[in-house]
Amino acid sequence: MALIAFESRLTVCFVTILLEPSTATSVVGRRARPRRYLMCPPDHFAVTYVINPWMNLAEPVDPALARRQWDVLRQIYLDLGHTVELIAAVPGLPDMVFAANGGLITDGHALGVRFAHPERAGEASAYLSWLRGAGLRSVTEAEQVNEGEGDFLVVGGGRDQLILAGTGFRTTPGAHAEVTRLFGLPVVSLRLVDPRFYHLDTALAVLDEHIVAYYPEAFNAASRRTLRQLFPDAILATARDAAVFGLNAVSDGRHVVLSERATRLSEQLRERGYQPIGVDLSELHKAGGGAKCCTLEIRS
């Protein structure tokens, strides 16, 4: 059923693209793959502490608006034919809406999380119990500090996978080693140096099997060299688009859901054959989050 909806949506997209001759040739090649996402409704979302430079106790959050914005994001995924599962929000855990920080799952194997800040520590067990009930092949509790898909991004598929791993602010190098041992995949450590981009998923987006977009200045010189070597065809984001959380994007291989304020990045994506879908997540941005932060991919 879901698959049929997905394909019919693709047909709709294809027709739209044919009406835009300037992008038609490049777009045809990009293929979407149906995804399974986990999201957490922003039922208890608020900014009640400060653990990143975006959070400001003096700037109030509008909870009703946050809910509407989050609903739009969820509906976009559903309209694209993806599966969205929900975890119940826990009172007293205002950042739990950022489901990307709930785990790392690939090939049906999951690693739980261990937060760097005590304010978020309580989320780890909630996400772990959800993962244990999700029908996965294995679920392992984390020993080292790691903030899930906030800092671990899977590139490629099948035997060709590698994991990009951020460190510098939250996830530790010890957790990179833990992921290497657990998943048996190559793990590429990348050092973040700008506190505004404190999680890897704020500075780098995986667009499809082998293409990424990133903001070079968020990384130290050695990591920039590594990224240049690994991804010579990467899209390089501007400082402006990075600062509006443009790289905190969710791609299904063809559609890229990202901040509607990242206008140049949307153009760059279109030039490369992707279909950007802009969203307004202004309220979640007040806690330092965007589309990707709200979305954990369950790779079964």
Minimum Å gap between C-beta 11 and ligand ARG is: 33
Q: How far apart are CA 132 and CA 35, in angstroms?
A: 19
The residue among 36 and 196 lying less far from ligand ARG, judged by its C-beta, is 196
Catalytic residue check, 293: yes
**Residue of 233, 248, 125, 231 lying closest to 188 (CA atoms):** 231
By CB under 6 A, name the binding residues for ligand ARG: 51-52, 55, 95, 98, 100-101, 120, 150, 199, 201-202, 287-289, 293
The residue among 10 and 84 lying less far from ligand ARG, judged by its C-beta, is 84
Minimum Å gap between C-beta 247 and ligand ARG is: 10
Minimum Å gap between C-beta 171 and ligand ARG is: 11
Catalytic residue, from 199, 255, 285, 294: name it: 199
The residue among 123 and 178 lying less far from ligand ARG, judged by its C-beta, is 123
* Contact residues for 134 (Cβ-Cβ < 8 A; gap 6+): 38, 85, 110, 298
Q: How far apart are CA 192 and CA 217, in angstroms?
A: 9
The residue among 51 and 213 lying less far from ligand ARG, judged by its C-beta, is 51
The residue among 151 and 252 lying less far from ligand ARG, judged by its C-beta, is 151
Minimum Å gap between C-beta 82 and ligand ARG is: 18
Residue type, 143: E
Report residue 133 as tokens.
């009930």
Minimum Å gap between C-beta 137 and ligand ARG is: 24
Minimum Å gap between C-beta 287 and ligand ARG is: 4
Catalytic residue check, 285: no
Q: What is the CA radius of gyration of the chain?
A: 18
The residue among 117 and 270 lying less far from ligand ARG, judged by its C-beta, is 117
Catalytic residue, from 40, 176, 285, 293: name it: 293
Residues assigned a catalytic role: 199, 293
